[in-house]
Chain A
Amino acid sequence: MEAVVDLHDAVVLLGRFPALAGVTVTIGAGELVVLRGPNGAGKTTLLRLCAGLLPRVRGTATVLGVDTEHGARALARRVGLLGHRNGLYEDLTARENLRFWGRAIGASRAEQDAALAALGIEGRLAEVAVGRLSAGQRRRTALAALAARRPELWLLDEPHTGLDTDGRDRLDGLLRAAVVAGATVVLASHDLDRVAALATRTLTLVGGRVVGDELASVSPVEGGDQC
């Protein structure tokens, strides 16, 4: 089966600093991979590279069969990235944000509303301007926007931060369902206890390179709601 993410000795510079100093890793479909490592190890950079947002100066990087040098547009709707920021418009309501982002990638209204509901943003909450929501509620909205597009590859950068227990449970359910449906998930996290139950594989990143690659000893519990 064709690899979803295929990197060989990829070097990515942020300014002059080599955030990624030669990453080699292959990730197949249906995997749920956790990235761990100290601050500054390059986790965020790796995720952004896979999204096609960063140029690389050395090595190769192919995502879903497409060279990442072609940029995010080439990967277009097949990849979803949730970074540290939420990517929402503060003056619009949660529902309006979903309408815009949903229409941008071709998700139907039903899918958009279902995504919001799955993350617990419903009713009057969905009609409040995002700027007035709490950080956790914004995060949920951003996750809903990501879920609505049903990407083949989910790239999440510390998605659990800011979420309460209910939010984290919903997120975990979403991820499990996505993997069951055939998608691939790569998420960076410091919350190792929680993600240990989810992950099929753990990559450890230090100094811009992969120094550890472990498969989960027990396959994660399946189940959860369909999104």
Chain B
Amino acid sequence: MLRTALLVAGKDLRIEWRSKVGMVQVLPFAMAVLVLFAFALDGNRSTLRDVTPGLAWIAMLLSLLLGVQRAFGPETVDGALDALRLSGLEPAGVFLGKAAALAAQLLALGTLLGIGVALFYGPDAPGVGGWVVLVTTVVVATTGLAAVGTIYGALSAGIRVRDTLLPILVLPVVMPVLIAATRAVEASLGIRAELTDAWPWVGLLAVFTLAYTALGLLAFGPLLEET
């Protein structure tokens, strides 16, 4: 199964590298969202600093929607989905590979977003403990988002109205991630919270990620079967 996952992940990332959709479309979108927020909130530096984590995660969630729509894009263009069904690759491995590729792309996006936020919104830099919490939070939350995103990507692969349907499907589900990740990042940066406050939130994120990864592994078979 891991071999399948690596094969599929490698393929997805290579496609992404070639087409550069992430760099050319999704990243500017996320940046634009941040700029919009800055304007809407009147650009007051201290206000922005406090709401930075929440806004950054909202930008991530909106980018996730784009990512989900693309997740099975290469497969649907030329009928590769059928070929995937006939290839004998185990669905659980395909899920793992695709989710890993999506997670990697989201992590890259998140890192760049974080740099952009640090430069333009100006929160204070975290201490060592803060960095640990920050990195853990981002990794766990992003993996959870990628898992849910990949499941929905497969689910909606054949649907034509999915651009308008996906938000109502995906956004309510990832609400806990928004809440937990925002609070954890706030704690890591010392915004209205202590560092130790972060750990229950990280725990919640871990449960979310584990639950949906498990569901993805189990449910991908039936999802891939659909014609």
Contacts and interface: CB of A to CB of B under 8 A. Distances in A.
A65 B83 CA distance: 21
A205 interface: no
Contacts of B79: 83-87
Given A89-B74, A90-B74, A104 B88 contact: yes
Nearest to A77: B88
Interface of B: 4, 7, 11, 14-15, 18-19, 74, 77-80, 82-83, 85-91, 221, 225, 227
Contact of A92 (B18, B89, B221): B18
Given A71-B225, A104-B7, A89 B85 contact: no
Contact of B78 (A54, A85, A103): A85
A96 B14 contact: yes
A72 interface: yes
Interface in A89-126: 89-92, 96, 100-101, 103-105
A104 B10 CA distance: 12
Given A72-B225, A104-B88, 7 more contacts: A51-B86, A73-B225, A86-B79, A100-B7, A103-B7, A104-B7, A105-B88
A129 B18 contact: yes
20 contacts: A51-B86, A71-B85, A72-B86, A73-B85, A73-B91, A76-B87, A80-B86, A81-B82, A83-B82, A86-B79, A87-B80, A87-B82, A89-B11, A91-B15, A91-B18, A91-B19, A92-B11, A104-B4, A104-B88, A145-B83
B86 A90 contact: no
Given A53-B227, A86-B79, A92 B86 contact: no
Contacts, number: 79
Interface in A150-196: none
A145 B7 CA distance: 16
A79 interface: yes
A52 B224 CA distance: 13
A34 interface: no
A46 interface: no
A35 interface: no
Contact of A89 (B78, B87, B227): B78
B87 A101 contact: yes
A4 interface: no
B110 to A, nearest CB: 24
A101 B14 CA distance: 14
A33 interface: no
Contacts of A88: 78, 80
Most buried by B among A54, A76, A80, A145: A76
A54 B11 contact: no
B89 A104 contact: yes
A186 B107 CA distance: 47
A89 B80 contact: yes
A81 B85 CA distance: 11
B224 to A, nearest CB: 8
Interface in A60-85: 71-73, 75-77, 79-81, 83-85
